[in-house]
A and B are shown apart, each in its own frame.
Chain A
């Protein structure tokens, strides 16, 4: 269960304080597909960073599986990101001098996984997103859609319990986008939390929990009725 309780996040930009999140609270149990919507600057990305332990709230707390992430050390937060979180960024965020395979294997290589085993797992993850034949290509040789799929494969490779995706289908054609959404829904079926930040109302339709943000606050929150 992911719990955000009265989370505030304030950035200081020079003399100015920017209140990115102002008292956001919601619970997200396992096997849920959550969608965060809102205009630019509404705090969507900040919320995703806090949920994925890339950042810590200024006040309030974030809890995952009963652990208060806010109080963790830098090292423990890194370990949490490794074991429980898979990020899919809007800008893909692939390492330019590594091949698709190496990019996907990167999280495993940072731990004690032997290179061969890491590459086998990476190949399997690439196959899940239909890119097994592009494994040796560098990001610069891949289309935007292919890069996004590599990023998704990387997010899945160490089998995390929570996937956080920022516009995961933003750069994909409809067919590929649908395929990725099916993939994400399949993860929900495997008891994983999937939290997607998007402007796409079609994705919002699929959400178990839809949170609309406005100026750092929850404007509306809708829980999908179980059919």
Chain B
């Protein structure tokens, strides 16, 4: 019997094609918006959390005292894109525009022809910033000692970062020099994307001036293994060139528009995450633009004791993160050093909470569109009851019960809701695929996929059917209560 009613309802939808499709369109738009926003939102969440997972939830970062909170200001002041002189290698030099805030990337290098002018312009500004950073960012924490003090820790290493004037044979400019300690490279290579060499051996001797170069830096500086460069005037030998990171395009060419450093930084900035820890971490998400010198060497020849640095530690399996953070605080006090421990878990939770909130707000807005679709459906069904009054009378005269008339109308509206739901699901999925491609780079999470879970599919379909049926409920009830004689008399 239900099957027969189902067929009759389908027949009715088919016979009022234009209006049915317009009604379905209303639901479709709402469902499309909900599906696209939810799947993209979940996709972003998962991609961001994956980045944290890659680093490891068992990691606690210790940033210099005072860096937390001020860190982002420092990051803004940090010459991430000190564009000095020309905008490209070999281009005519213009006057210095800024040393703060712009995009830092190796494209903004100088040809050596303009070197003297550039150094003259840049050096005082850089020194000024460096001094400011030294005051707040210098870490005097001994990572090795910390490891002996806090039994919950299994590994600890230091990673510093600083902008230095770098000069190669063909170009020069200011680049970020990251300084992982030997311990750091052994314990946390994944933090630096595995620190895999595309060429060369990597660091072999901490007492020699060796440098490992990021893929894009190597390409733009035209560096090969064994080449000599100077960092802050100190000569270094290139002993390794890193594999391009994930943010590079698949065909092996580096995507110049996608500045991993800036986008990673803006992500954490926008999400209100904490301090210089994030600055360093964000820098780690893209190793292409950096140069790498061992921390031990940098402290000797590049004044590394005063560079901005973080200590990264790994907590033993099973140990409590919060208790370990407490123990680290005690240890920092005992060392009479400064530092603020932040667990990756804590940062991830913070970001996940924010992302979840954004997703909820967006989904709520999309849900309004869905409700509007439901109101449209209700309007259509109400009109249909008025139009089909005589038909309702006919149905009753041939023996239709009140409940059957109601069921017929409910199936009718529920089906329109469901069709809108199915089509909205398909369209929303397609849109989310495009959306993630567009959003990925700007959110700094590289490429990511929308998450269209079985739960999302099931609940969207169920919800759209229920929305349709609910929207049709009142008109259907009204239809079922019509007096057959009155209904038959309707024109």
Task: State the A residues within 8 Å of B (CB).
Answer: 49, 52, 54-55, 74-75, 78-79, 81-83, 87, 89, 93-98, 102, 106-107, 109-113, 115, 118, 154, 158
Contact = CB atoms under 8 A, between A and B. Distances in A.
B395 interface: yes
A37 B297 CA distance: 117
Contacts of A97: 11-12, 14-16
Contact of B4 (A54, A82, A115): A115
B390 A81 contact: no
Given A97-B15, A112-B1, A87 B398 contact: yes
Contact of B402 (A75, A81, A98, A107): A75
A89 B397 CA distance: 10
Contacts of B3: 115
B394 A79 contact: no
Contact of B488 (A93, A111, A158): A93
Given A97-B11, A110-B4, 8 more contacts: A75-B402, A79-B399, A93-B488, A95-B394, A106-B398, A110-B399, A110-B401, A110-B404
A199 to B, nearest CB: 20
A183 B404 CA distance: 32
Interface string B380-416: 0000000000110111111111111000000000000
Contact of A111 (B1, B11, B391, B396): B1
A75 B401 contact: yes
Interface in B14-38: 14-16
Contact of A107 (B8, B12, B398, B484): B398
List 5 tightest A-B contacts by C-beta distance, closest first: A82-B399, A97-B15, A109-B4, A107-B398, A78-B401
A54 B398 contact: no
A81 B399 contact: yes
Contact of B485 (A49, A110, A115, A154): A49
Given A97-B12, A97-B15, A98-B11, A89 B488 contact: yes
B232 interface: no
B400 A78 contact: yes
B409 to A, nearest CB: 14
Contacts of A106: 394-395, 398
A81 B484 CA distance: 11
Max chain B Cβ within 10 angstroms of own Cβ: one of A75, A81, A118: A81
Nearest to A94: B394
A20 B15 CA distance: 38
A163 to B, nearest CB: 13
B401 A109 contact: no
B249 interface: no
Max chain B Cβ within 10 angstroms of own Cβ: one of A78, A93, A102: A78
Contact of B398 (A49, A55, A110): A110
A111 B3 CA distance: 10
B7 interface: yes
Contact of A83 (B16, B395, B399): B399
Given A54-B484, A89-B488, A81 B398 contact: yes
A110 B400 contact: yes
Contacts of A113: 4
A142 to B, nearest CB: 16
A154 B398 CA distance: 9
A86 B394 CA distance: 12
A125 to B, nearest CB: 13
B352 to A, nearest CB: 53
B4 A81 contact: no
A111 B398 CA distance: 11
Contacts of A94: 394
A134 B390 CA distance: 24
B396 to A, nearest CB: 7
28 contacts: A49-B485, A52-B397, A55-B483, A75-B401, A78-B400, A79-B401, A81-B396, A81-B397, A81-B399, A83-B399, A87-B397, A89-B488, A93-B390, A93-B393, A93-B397, A94-B394, A97-B11, A97-B14, A97-B16, A107-B398, A109-B8, A110-B1, A110-B395, A110-B398, A111-B399, A112-B1, A115-B4, A115-B7
A175 to B, nearest CB: 28
Contacts of A95: 391, 394-395
Nearest to B8: A109
Contact of B399 (A74, A89, A107): A107
A74 B402 contact: yes
Contacts of B485: 49, 54-55
A43 to B, nearest CB: 13
A87 B488 CA distance: 12
Contacts of A54: 396-397, 484-485, 488
Nearest to B390: A93
A109 B10 CA distance: 14
A151 to B, nearest CB: 10
Contacts of B402: 74-75, 78
A227 to B, nearest CB: 35
B41 to A, nearest CB: 43
